Chain A
Amino acid sequence: MPATFDSIATTTLGSAASSITFSSIPGTYTDLRVVLVIPSVSGATDVIMQLNSDTGSNYSRTNLTGNGSSTASGQLTNQSSLRLSYGGPSTTLPNMTTVDFFSYSGSTNKTCLITTSDDANGSGFIMRAVGLWRSTSAISTIKLECNLANFNSGTTATLYGILKA
């Protein structure tokens, strides 16, 4: 049976850093999956993603969220990055995020499914969202970034490639 779910690259931070970048992503897969596990962050921040170093207003998101007592749905439009967090990760407890890109090397705009799970034992949130990057370029670089603080040591990001055949 052919390998259909491969680890392309992984990074575990040995010290705090504001970003993790996967570059030179091969175009040989069908879909991509990013798994990000953040033990904690150094301060209040969002976690954002930029693709192919594009800082234009080409990103948008529609989200469904819950914080343990209320629910919400909202949109972010014409953003300069794709926001993966909702309320921001904890400075003391871990959270996890996955991002699935479908047909990342195709010539259409790129959609993704974002899942962010952030229970902090008394606070936190859960989010399911769809993201859009309005670009027809193949995705070759993915940058994960804390825009106002740092990922703390131990943060792990892995990029998987998925083949349909």
Chain B
Amino acid sequence: MANTYTLIASNTLSSSAASVTFSSIPSTYTDLVVKFSVRTTDNDTMLVGLNNVTTSFSSRVLEGNGASVASYSNSSSGRYIGYPIITTTSTFANGEIYIPSYTASQNKPFSAFTAAEANATTAYITAVADLWSNTNAINEVKFTTSTYSFVSGSSFWLYGIKNS
């Protein structure tokens, strides 16, 4: 039986970068998964853009920081996938986004999960329900932060999953 969970592309930064993009994603899979290990140059949120589009996103967030738990929503510009704020040297946050049926001609729900831990420094574990109200097949996934950059050593892995 064929392996159905395949690494499409990866990127480990050799210097700080404001964004990481996977483009020309083939349409031959059913679902997409991106796993990442990141640190940002200062406290920042992590965002995603699809097909070089940053509109028609909304999200619903559940997060905890070890002392409190909160839920909030983001409106049509809320392409939010987490709050992986770690500024501690050599410490990275981890996470993944899962995009099912990325080629289907329907609006795209996807999920995100990020986890950061930095000993005594406040850090967040975040789960996000995202919706991209766009029916186009996804051929590009771009990660950015709100203000700062991903540091050198931040890594991203894009996988494709086939259901047949």
Binding site for B on A (CB under 8 A): 1-7, 10, 35, 37, 39, 64-71, 93-96, 98, 115-122, 124-126, 128, 154, 156, 158, 160
CA distance in complex: A65, B113 (Å): 14
Q: How far is the CB of B133 from chain A (nearest CB, A)?
A: 6
Report yes or no: A71 in contact with B109, Cβ–Cβ below 8 A: no
Report yes or no: A121 in contact with B133, Cβ–Cβ below 8 A: yes
Report yes or no: B109 in contact with A7, Cβ–Cβ below 8 A: no
Report yes or no: A94 in contact with B71, Cβ–Cβ below 8 A: no
Q: Given A71-B70, A158-B30, A120 and B131 touching (CB < 8 A)?
A: yes
Which residue of A2, A35, A70, A117 contacts B71 across the interface (Cβ within 8 Å)? Answer: A70
Q: How far is the CB of B50 from chain A (nearest CB, A)?
A: 15
Report yes or no: B72 in contact with A5, Cβ–Cβ below 8 A: no
Report yes or no: A118 in contact with B62, Cβ–Cβ below 8 A: no
Give the interface size bracket for B toward A: 35 or more
CA distance in complex: A2, B5 (Å): 11
Report yes or no: A94 in contact with B5, Cβ–Cβ below 8 A: no
7 further A-B pairs in the complex, CB-CB below 8 A; given A1-B3, A119-B109: A5-B161, A10-B164, A65-B71, A70-B71, A117-B110, A119-B58, A125-B60
Report yes or no: A126 in contact with B4, Cβ–Cβ below 8 A: no
Nearest residue (CB) in A for B31 is: A35
Q: What are the 6 tightest A-B residue pairs by CB atom distance, in nearest-first order?
A: A66-B71, A68-B73, A117-B129, A66-B62, A5-B5, A3-B3
Report yes or no: A126 in contact with B61, Cβ–Cβ below 8 A: yes
Q: How far is the CB of B33 from chain A (nearest CB, A)?
A: 10
Report yes or no: B60 in contact with A67, Cβ–Cβ below 8 A: yes
Number of A-B contacts (CB under 8 A): 131
Q: Which of B17-25, B100-108, B147-155 contacts A (4 or more CB under 8 A)?
A: B100-108
CA distance in complex: A153, B78 (Å): 28
Interface centre among B69, B111, B128 (most CB of A within 10 A): B111
Q: Given A67-B71, A70-B71, A94-B109, A6 and B4 touching (CB < 8 A)?
A: yes
Report yes or no: B108 in contact with A94, Cβ–Cβ below 8 A: yes
Interfacial chain B residues near A116, Cβ < 8 Å:
129
B141 at the A interface (CB under 8 A): no
Q: How far is the CB of B164 from chain A (nearest CB, A)?
A: 6
Report yes or no: A4 in contact with B104, Cβ–Cβ below 8 A: no
Nearest residue (CB) in B for A68 is: B73
CA distance in complex: A71, B31 (Å): 29
B89 at the A interface (CB under 8 A): no
CA distance in complex: A94, B113 (Å): 19
Within 8 A of A (CB), among B76-104: 76, 98, 100-101, 104
CA distance in complex: A7, B76 (Å): 34
Show 30 residue pairs from A and B whose CB-CB distance is below 8 angstroms, ordered by the A residue: A1-B3, A4-B3, A4-B5, A5-B3, A5-B5, A5-B161, A6-B4, A10-B163, A35-B31, A37-B100, A39-B106, A64-B62, A65-B62, A66-B71, A68-B71, A71-B70, A93-B131, A94-B106, A115-B113, A116-B129, A118-B109, A119-B130, A121-B131, A121-B133, A122-B73, A125-B60, A125-B129, A126-B60, A156-B101, A158-B163
